[in-house]
Amino acid sequence: MEHLLEILSPHFLLRNALYAGLVVGFVCPQVGIFFVLRRMILLGITLPQVSNAGIAFAFLLHTINWHFLPHVESERAMALIGSIVFTLIAIFVLAILERKRRGFTENRIGYIYALAGAASILFVSWNPYGQTEVLSMLKGEILSIPDIYLWSMFAIYGTVFICLLGFHRVFVLVSYDADMAVTMGKNVVLWDILLYLIIGIIISFGVMTVGPLVIFGFLLIPAIAARMVTRGILPFCIVSSAIGVFTAFWGFYISYCFDLPTGPTDVALLCVILVLLYFGEMFVRLKR
C-alpha cells in the first residue's frame, strides 16, 4: 500500500514513465484492433522491428556528421525521422504488393521482419561511437522519459485517438469488409492510406519513446485478449483499452516494487492476462 500511495502522488519522481505507459496502454490497443480485424498480427510484430532499423540507421548517419541541428536535438530528431520513414515505406510497400496479390502476405511480412532485424544489428555494429546509447534507445528506457517527450506523446497520441474516434466506423468497415465498403461508395484506398499513416505514426513515435517491445505488446495482446471475450465492435474496443490501461498501471507498480524493468514486466503481465482469459473463456464454454 505504501508503494501504491507513493506512485499515485503528483510529486512521484517517475511519474512520466507511469503517464507514458498509461497513454500507450490506452491508445495502442485502439490501433491494434485493426491488425486483428485484418488478420495481420504478424505485421504488428514486424513494424516495430522496421522502426528499430530506422532509428539505428539515423544514429549511424548522425555519427558520420549528417545532421542539421545542435547535437542532442539533431540526434533525437533524426532518429524519429528515420523511424517514421522506414515504417511508412514498409507499410506502403506491403500495401501495394497486397493489392497486386503477389505471393503470400505472411511470406512478405516475414521477409521484411528478417531484413529489418538484420539491418538493425548491422547499422549498430557499423556505428563506431555510442553503441551503448544506440542499443539503449532501441530497447526503450521508459523510466527516463523527459517532459518534452511526454507532452509530445500526449499531443500525438491524443490527435491519433481523436482521428480514430471520428472515423471509427469507416476504418472498421474497410478493415472488416473492403468489398462492402466499395459497394457503399467508400474510397477504400484513401481510407487505407490514412489508417496506415496513423499506424506508422503510432509505432514510430512509440518505439522512440518506450521501445519496440512495449509497443508490440500493447498493440496486439490487449486486442487479441479482448477479441476472445467480447462480441461486437464497441465492447471489443472498450475492453482492449481497459486491458491496456490496467496492465500499464499494475505492470509499473510491480516493476517499481520489485525493481524490475518496466517494459518487459508490462508485456509479461499482458501475456498472463491473455492466458487467464483464454482458459476462463474455455471454462465458460465447457460449462454451457
Q: Are 32 and 218 in contact (CB under 8 A)?
A: yes
Residue where the block lists cell 486483428: 36
**pLDDT on residue 133:** 58
* The three grid cell numbers given for residue 79, joined into one nine-digit string: 532518429
In sequence order, which residues have a C-beta less than 8 Å from that of residue 71 and are 6 or more positions away? none
How does pLDDT run across 174-216, given as a tens digit for each residue?
A: 888 878 888 888 888 888 888 888 888 888 888 877 878 888 8
How does pLDDT run across 96-142, given as a tens digit for each residue?
A: 776 666 556 678 888 888 898 888 888 887 776 556 656 665 555 56
Q: How big is the CA angle at 266 (ends 228 and 254), to the nearest 5 degrees?
A: 120
Tell me which of 23 and 41 has the higher pLDDT: 23
Quick check: 48 pLDDT over 90?
no
d(CA 279, CA 46): 28
pTM assigned to the model: 0.85
**Dihedral (CA of 104, 106, 109, 113) sign:** negative
Quick check: 30 pLDDT over 90?
yes
Q: Where are the alpha helices (DSSP H) in the chain?
A: 2-8, 15-37, 41-63, 71-99, 105-126, 131-139, 147-166, 168-176, 178-183, 188-210, 212-229, 233-258, 262-287
**pLDDT on residue 75:** 67
d(CA 261, CA 197): 30
**pLDDT on residue 162:** 94
For 86, half-sphere exposure in the C-beta direction (CA atoms, 13 angstrom radius) is 31
Domains of the chain: residue spans and CATH: 2-287 (1.10.3470.10)
- How far is residue 261 from each of residues 78, 141, 265, measured CA to CA in Å? 27, 9, 6
Share of the chain above pLDDT 90, in %: 23
**pLDDT on residue 28:** 94
How does pLDDT run across 51-95, given as a tens digit for each residue?
A: 888 888 888 887 776 665 555 456 677 778 888 889 888 888 877
d(CA 239, CA 229): 9
Q: How big is the CA angle at 214 (ends 209 and 219), to the nearest 5 degrees?
A: 105
The CA dihedral of 174, 176, 178, 180, to the nearest 10 degrees, is -100
**pLDDT on residue 71:** 52
